[in-house]
A and B are shown apart, each in its own frame.
Chain A
Amino acid sequence: MALGQRRYQRKSFVIPKLQITSMMDMFTIILIFLLFSFSDNPEKLHIEKGMMLPKSTSLIDCNKSITVSLSSNSLKVGNHHIADVNQGVIQGFDRQHPEKSKLYHHLLSIHHHLDPKDDQDKSSIVIFCDQRMPYQTIHQVVKTSGMAGFPNFQFAVLKK
């Protein structure tokens, strides 16, 4: 009898309510943050590890065309490794004869494959360069690119 009473007194199982208020708060914050950093034109640009781009007030979007990456240890055109860079000096680059360099020949071959009808933005080079690089090194790249048929550049910068 006593056992039966105890069974009768046992409360029926209630499904526990999930407390989602805090999760809602978190999602709201994430959503607002992502809405602010939403980009209608997301570009996948590969930046070398350790490269520090300079900051600028420029508001012009970076067009994804031919990219030249000049970091503290390598020079690349797109994903193609051109030369090693050691203490701001491009290895194997003769300053007096840029037309003999690997960079010149590579850019020249790209220029030959370009459609002459392409607009200026498509035939310009985007230069990703470390902010600590001296002008001497940058000028070698810029001058060689100009000789290979790319006189217009875009310097990639971070928004200030």
Chain B
Amino acid sequence: MRRFGKNRKDNDTDTDIDMVPIMNMFLVLIPFLLSSASFFDINAIHTSVPVRQTNVNQNESESTKEAIVIPVIEMKADRIQLYVMSEQISANDLTKWDLSFTKQKDRFPFEDIQSYLQDMKNKYPKSDTILVIPDDDILYETIIQTMDLARNATETQLFPNVVLSEKI
């Protein structure tokens, strides 16, 4: 019995995995990844200011589906006013889109504004430009929030071309 136990002890082999090559690989990989890691993900919102058009190519169509409208968001300190500009729709139809959203509990009702813009996009799917006219004291953060909701709904793209302007 004692001899059997002695034999087992002799046959035991070291089964530890050699970690040194893995550690070497890690030591190479980590500095490389550190050098190309980005801790701040900076993106961009493309926008423009209104420019004078020299050549207006108007291809007017009578049907509402083809009509192109430009929604305007006027940002005031206490409310957001929305209306539509278009040369292809009658004044009566344009005034139907006039709406004002007042600030509630220091916050603009962005969800309601987005559903309004969604309805407009459904009615005039060819429209892709929106005009944002903030008041002087509106903060940049609020403007970016408004631009976000004007560009994208939850799944669909609304008005990707955002133009910043001032009240004339």
Contact = CB atoms under 8 A, between A and B. Distances in A.
A35 B33 contact: yes
B23 to A, nearest CB: 6
A90 to B, nearest CB: 13
B49 A143 contact: yes
A151 B51 contact: yes
A42 interface: yes
B111 to A, nearest CB: 14
Taking residues whose C-beta sits less than 8 angstroms from the other chain, chain B's interface range is 35 or more
B57 to A, nearest CB: 19
A92 interface: no
Nearest to B23: A20
Interface in A102-160: 124, 126, 129-136, 138-139, 142-143, 145-146, 151-159
A31 B29 contact: yes
A59 B43 contact: yes
Interface stretch (B59-67, B87-95, B137-145): B137-145
Contacts of A126: 44
Contacts of A56: 43, 45, 144, 147-148
Interface string B10-44: 00000010010011001001100111111111111
A132 B37 contact: no
B48 interface: yes
B164 interface: yes
A60 B160 CA distance: 12
Contacts of B135: 135
Contacts of B29: 31
Contacts of A37: 37-39
Given A56-B147, A138-B140, A153-B46, 8 more contacts: A27-B23, A39-B37, A45-B42, A54-B144, A57-B152, A135-B143, A151-B49, A153-B49
Interface of A: 17, 20-21, 23-24, 27-28, 30-31, 34-35, 37-40, 42-43, 45, 47, 53-63, 124, 126, 129-136, 138-139, 142-143, 145-146, 151-159
